[in-house]
C-alpha cells in the first residue's frame, strides 16, 4: 500500500472518529487499549499497546488525533492497565468472549464475501441459541458485535463469570463444541431404544436433528434417498431400500427404532453427524484466554473500512453487514485497481478490472483497505 493511500484512509478514518459517538466498554479505565496505526508498518498488525484512558473525552481526543486503522481493548480489567509487563497489571477479571470467524468455519471453496458473512451469522445464531436455551441467559446477559471483518463477537460480562480461569472457560468451550460427546455414551444412557434419551440439552438437540434428518430423507425421491443413505456405515444399498420404504409409510423415527432396521453402528454414525452439525465452531483460544485483546465496538476495521457494529438480539437478526456497517458515502473517489475484483456493498455488486476508475467512496475505501486498490489523488472529486 502506497503512502497516498494510507494518508487518504487515515484522513477519512479521522473524520469518522472526530464526528462519531464512539462507544466505550464497561470499566474502560481499567482496560488496556491497543492501536494499529496507518504508519510505515500498515497493513501489518503492529500493535501500540499498554495505553490507558481516564475519561471518555481523552479517548475521543486520542482517536481523533491519531486516526487509527484498528482499535482494541482488553477483555480483562486490571488495577494498572498501562503497565508494560503483564504481571504488573494485576488482573482483576475478564469478560468471556466468543469469536466466530470465517477462517474457523469455511472448509470448502470460499463463497462470496456476502456468502461468508451469512455462514458466520448462521453459526452465531447457533451460539446464541445455546446461550439462551442451555445456559439460561437472556439478551441482557450478552452483547453481540459484528467484527467489521468476517465474523461476530459475543461478549458475556456477568460479574460472577469474570473471575473464571482458563480451565473453567475451556469447559464452556467443550460444551459448545461437543468435545468429548461420544455416540457410544449417549446410546448407553438410553435403556429402551437405540437412540439418545432426552435427559440433557445435547440429547434433546440430537434427537430433534435426527428426526429432521429422516423426515428430509423421507421427502426425497426414493432413488435419491437410497443413494444418500447407502454410504452410511453398516447400512448399504439393500438396507437403505428397506429404510426408505419404511419412511414412505411413516416418516417419524420411532418405527425405525422399533423395527431394528438401522444397526447400532449406523446409529452411532448418524449421531456423530448430528453432533458435527449442531456444535458451535468458535475460535477456542479466544474464549479460553483471560487476557485477550478484542476490537472496540463502534470503531472501524482497518481491513475493510466497515464499522465494528454493536447489535441487540433483534438488531442482529435484521442485520445486513454490507449495508448496515457501511459508514462512508457515495462521493466519487478515483482509484487504481490492482487486480480484478468483485465486491457487494450497499445492495450492489460492483465488478472492477485492473485499471484506474472512479467508485463510490464506500467501495473505494473497502478495496483500498483490502489491498486491492490504490488511491489516485489527482482525480479525487471534491466532497
Indicate which residue of 39, 95, 99, 138 is catalytic: 99
CB 81 within 8 A of CB 92: no
3-state secondary structure of 260: coil
Annotation says 283 is catalytic: yes
Q: How far is the first Cα of the chain from the last one, in angstroms, to the nearest whole number?
A: 24
Q: What are phi and psi of 356, to 5 degrees?
A: -100, 130
Q: What totals of helices (H) and strands (E) does the chain contain, helices first?
A: 16, 15
Residues near 62 by Cβ (< 8 Å), separated by ≥ 6? 51, 53
> 3-class secondary structure for 142-180?
EEEEECCCCEEEEEECCHHHCCCCHHHHHHHHHHHHCCC
Q: From CA 50, how far away is CA 73, in angstroms rounded?
A: 10
Annotation says 330 is catalytic: no
Annotation says 99 is catalytic: yes
Indicate which residue of 103, 122, 283, 353 is catalytic: 283
**Burial 145-176, CB ≥16 within 10 A → b, else e:** bbbbbbbbbbbbbeeebbebeeeebbebbebb
Q: What are phi and psi of 370, to 5 degrees?
A: -80, -5
**Beta partners for residue 48, in sequence order:** 35
75 closest CA partner among 22, 178, 149, 145: 145
State the pairing for strand pair 91-94/70-74.
unpaired
From residue 109, alpha-carbon distances to 112, 150, 345 in Å are: 10, 16, 21
Q: Tell me the angle at which helices 236-249 and 222-229 cross, rounded to the nearest 10 degrees.
A: 130
Indicate which residue of 15, 39, 88, 101 is catalytic: 101
Cα torsion 316, 317, 318, 319: sign? positive
CB 31 within 8 A of CB 14: no
Residues annotated as catalytic (active site), given as ranges: 99, 101, 283
Amino acid at each position: 500500500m502506497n503512502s497516498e493511500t494510507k494518508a487518504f484512509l487515515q484522513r477519512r478514518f479521522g473524520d469518522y472518529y472526530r464526528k462519531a459517538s464512539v462507544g466505550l466498554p464497561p470499566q474502560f479505565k481499567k482496560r488496556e487499549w491497543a492501536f494499529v496505526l496507518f504508519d510505515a508498518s500498515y497493513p501489518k498488525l503492529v500493535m501500540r499497546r499498554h495505553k490507558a484512558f481516564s475519561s471518555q473525552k481523552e479517548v475521543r481526543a486520542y482517536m481523533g488525533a491519531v486516526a487509527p486503522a484498528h482499535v482494541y481493548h482488553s477483555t480483562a480489567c486490571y488495577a494498572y492497565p498501562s503497565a508494560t509487563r503483564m504481571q504488573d497489571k494485576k488482573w482483576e477479571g475478564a469478560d468471556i468472549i466468543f469469536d466466530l470467524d470465517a477462517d474457523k468455519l469455511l472448509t470448502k471453496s470460499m463463497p462470496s464475501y456476502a456468502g461468508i458473512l451469512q455462514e458466520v451469522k448462521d453459526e452465531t445464531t447457533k451460539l446464541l441459541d445455546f446461550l439462551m436455551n442451555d445456559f439460561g441467559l437472556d439478551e441482557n446477559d450478552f452483547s453481540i458485535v459484528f467484527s467489521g471483518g468476517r465474523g461476530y463477537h459475543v461478549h458475556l460480562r456477568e460479574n460472577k463469570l469474570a473471575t473464571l480461569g482458563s480451565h473453567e472457560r475451556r469447559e464452556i468451550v467443550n460444551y459448545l463444541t461437543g468435545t468429548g460427546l461420544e455416540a457410544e455414551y449417549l446410546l448407553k444412557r438410553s435403556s429402551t431404544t437405540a437412540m439418545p434419551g432426552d435427559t440433557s440439552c445435547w440429547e434433546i438437540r440430537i434427537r430433534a436433528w435426527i428426526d429432521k434428518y429422516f423426515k428430509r430423507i423421507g421427502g426425497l425421491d426414493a432413488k435419491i434417498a437410497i443413494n444418500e443413505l447407502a454410504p452410511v456405515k453398516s447400512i448399504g444399498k439393500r438396507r437403505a431400500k428397506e429404510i426408505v420404504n419404511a419412511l414412505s409409510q411413516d416418516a417419524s423415527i420411532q418405527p425405525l427404532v422399533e423395527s431394528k432396521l438401522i444397526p447400532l453402528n449406523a446409529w452411532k454414525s448418524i449421531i456423530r453427524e448430528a453432533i458435527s452439525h449442531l456444535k458451535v465452531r468458535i475460535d477456542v483460544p479466544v474464549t479460553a484466554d483471560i487476557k485477550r485483546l478484542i476490537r472496540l465496538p463502534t470503531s472501524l476495521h482497518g481491513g475493510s473500512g466497515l464499522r465494528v457494529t454493536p447489535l441487540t438480539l433483534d438488531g442482529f437478526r435484521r442485520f445486513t453487514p454490507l449495508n448496515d456497517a457501511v459508514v462512508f458515502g457515495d462521493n466519487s473517489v478515483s482509484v487504481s485497481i490492482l487486480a480484478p475484483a468483485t465486491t457487494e456493498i450497499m445492495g450492489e455488486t460492483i465488478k472492477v478490472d485492473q485499471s484506474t476508475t472512479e467508485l463510490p467512496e464506500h467501495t473505494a475505501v473497502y478495496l483500498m483497505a483490502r489491498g486491492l486498490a490504490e488511491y489516485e489523488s489527482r482525480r479525487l472529486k471534491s466532497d
